[in-house]
Amino acid sequence: RIDQQIYGKKVRVRGRTQAFRHVEVRAEQSGRIISEPVKRGARVSQGDLLCEIAVDDRDSNLLEARSRQEQAEFEYEASLDLQERGLQSDVIVAQLKAALESAKAAVARAELALARTKIVAPFDGVVETRSVELGDLLNAGTVCASILDDSPMLLVGLVPEQDIGSLSVGAQVEAELLTGQRVAGEVTYLARAADNISRSYRIEVEVDSSFQDIRQGITAE
């Protein structure tokens, strides 16, 4: 008599670790670096200062824009009062309203230019590279630093075409590092199309954040 038994199929994949995301943070305003940029390897939180650009005339531009807005508001309110008494044409009122809206837009642009003198981290992570030093002159688009989001870390590999049907998003995975340490994770992504050369499918596995500093290759199964 043969008893029915269930066997689990193991799919063995060689791969590597990868950060969840990695971005280069660039300056949106030009100017000179006036404070010590954040150090490489430093852990930062979203909104932390990475690089600071000199304010120069941006604060005075903002004061000027706000003064023009106040004047435009006064003139527009006065025109409305005159219009109610039949002493101001609708055309003039419309022109003054447009001038007020333009002044408000100028204030918004000046505020944004001032805010962008502080280049901040877009998310929690680790500073992977630092591209500038104190006193450097940045142009718009220059990289201040690159930030690596290592929580969670990903295990990335290529699954042969004949084995892709055995895997699904949400499947539990065990991985063995080159150090011999074993970690567990969950499949979060399976490519729908195979690589044109290898005919294999990309797989991504999220591992626990306690292994966020792993930088070595892995063999997963």
Give the pLDDT of residue 3: 63
Cα–chain center distance at 21: 8
pLDDT at 12 over 70: yes
> Is 0.75 surpassed by the pTM of this model?
no
Of residues 65 and 178, more confidently modeled: 65
Of residues 14 and 30, more confidently modeled: 30
Give the pLDDT of residue 208: 66
DSSP string, 34-97: -SPPPPTT-EE-TT-EEEEB--TTHHHHHHHHHHHHHHHHHHHHHHHHHHHTT-S-HHHHHHHH
